Amino acid sequence: MEMRVARSSVAPAARRLPPAARYDRRGDVTRAPRSGRRAVPPPRRPALADSVSWWSAAPRSAVSDMRFARPLLCLLLCSRAQWCRGAQIQRLSVPAAAAAGSPVLLDCEYVVPEPRGLVVQWLFNGAAGLVYQWIPPLRPQAVGLLKGRVDLNHTASADPLQRHRAVLVRRAAPELSGRYTCVVSTHTAEDRQTRPMLVYSVPRNFQFYQERGNGSATLVCSAEDMYPRPELTILTEEDAVVAAKLEVTMDSYGQYSAVSRAALPAAAHAQTFVCSITLPYANYTVTRTTTYYPGRAVDDYGDVQQPQERQASGTTRASLRTSVTSLFGMVMILSK
């Protein structure tokens, strides 16, 4: 009798539901599974006032979503608030090009609202190339490629947290060309920026002369100890390029030497030529000139010998001075 009473009490509620609906353990209505699958109850959506009970009753997927949403919300708020940032680089100063032998200053301006664990580093050509490090209030250190090249007593600011942020290289060299990265880090955040720098070496022993022999003439333009790889061009007065053969070699220090030769055809009048050397990406150009005189000899240094100026009588000025000196000596002897 008791079981019949229980069925009769449940039956009126069950009749109001669709035939495929069933109750789960919590009293929620579920649909009948298809093809023998187990029925999964839909997640409940309680009111905002019942957030605590919903948190305990929500499925695990919803709880995990909220756990991921909280850090993302904090990150979004921190990106808008200056006080939440651990370190931020405001300006990175690295010269795009510098002459070899000149001093170079690499500066990195930053703000650190939370300075705990402040570390300033300079990297060369990637994360593995540490060349400078400063951990306040310790003394800065130069390692690797910049060891022995940096003035460690240089101060960029009176602020104790900014004092040794900059790197002063006493004498730049071509091997210091590359990408420099400033890294500012604290216990809470890190920021970094990168800039390239080219250290160029100007030409040495720059010569532009003529070689003559067997009735032909050759223009020779040469220079040594250049960086980066130079571009040599021989031009006429009208800026026309003269066809030339260029030979470029590199020594063990990575510096270049170049020789350009151009054969000249026979000409009936004098011509002036220009040799131009350009260092790419360095905004550096230097030139030399020479004048070709048809039919005139060339001395041992490749310069054209100018003809001696003659008097109307046909004697040269040099011979005239010699005659006057001899005559004056004879007069002095006779006067004695």
- Nearest Cα residue to 91 out of 171, 155, 156, 158: 156
DSSP structural state of residue 238: T
The verdict on domain 204-292 having CATH code 1.10.3720.10 is no
- Residue 89 three-state SS: strand
Q: Which amino acid is at 51?
A: S
Element (H, E) at 322: helix 317-335
Asked if 107 contacts 197 with a C-beta cutoff of 8 angstroms, the reply is no
Asked if 311 contacts 318 with a C-beta cutoff of 8 angstroms, the reply is no
- pLDDT < 70 stretches in the chain: 1-86, 266-268, 295-336
Angle at 121 between CA 119 and CA 124, to 5 degrees: 165
Two structure tokens written together for 299? 């001395």
| 36 Rama class: left (phi>0) / alpha (psi -120 to 50) / beta | left
| Residue 293: per-residue pLDDT | 87
| Residue 222: per-residue pLDDT | 96
The per-residue pLDDT of the chain, averaged, comes to 77
Two structure tokens written together for 279? 């260092």
Structural fold of domain 88-200: Immunoglobulin-like (2.60.40)
How big is the chain, counted in residues? 336
Rounded CA separation 154/134 (Å):
12
If 0-12 CB within 10 Å is exposed, 13-18 middle and 19+ buried, where does residue 140 land?
Answer: buried
Quick count: other Cβ atoms within 10 Å of Cβ 105?
15
Two structure tokens written together for 86? 């651990």
Looking at the chain, the domain(s) classified CATH 2.60.40.10 span: 88-200, 204-292
Asked if 72 contacts 103 with a C-beta cutoff of 8 angstroms, the reply is no
Angle at 190 between CA 189 and CA 191, to 5 degrees: 135
| Residue 217: per-residue pLDDT | 87
Two structure tokens written together for 150? 């940096």
Q: Could you write out the three-class secondary structure of 135-180?
A: CCCCCCEECHHHCCCECCCCCCCCCCCCCCCCEEECCCCHHHCEEE
Q: Which amino acid is at 271?
A: Q
| Residue 87: per-residue pLDDT | 87
Rounded CA separation 93/107 (Å):
5
Element (H, E) at 298: none
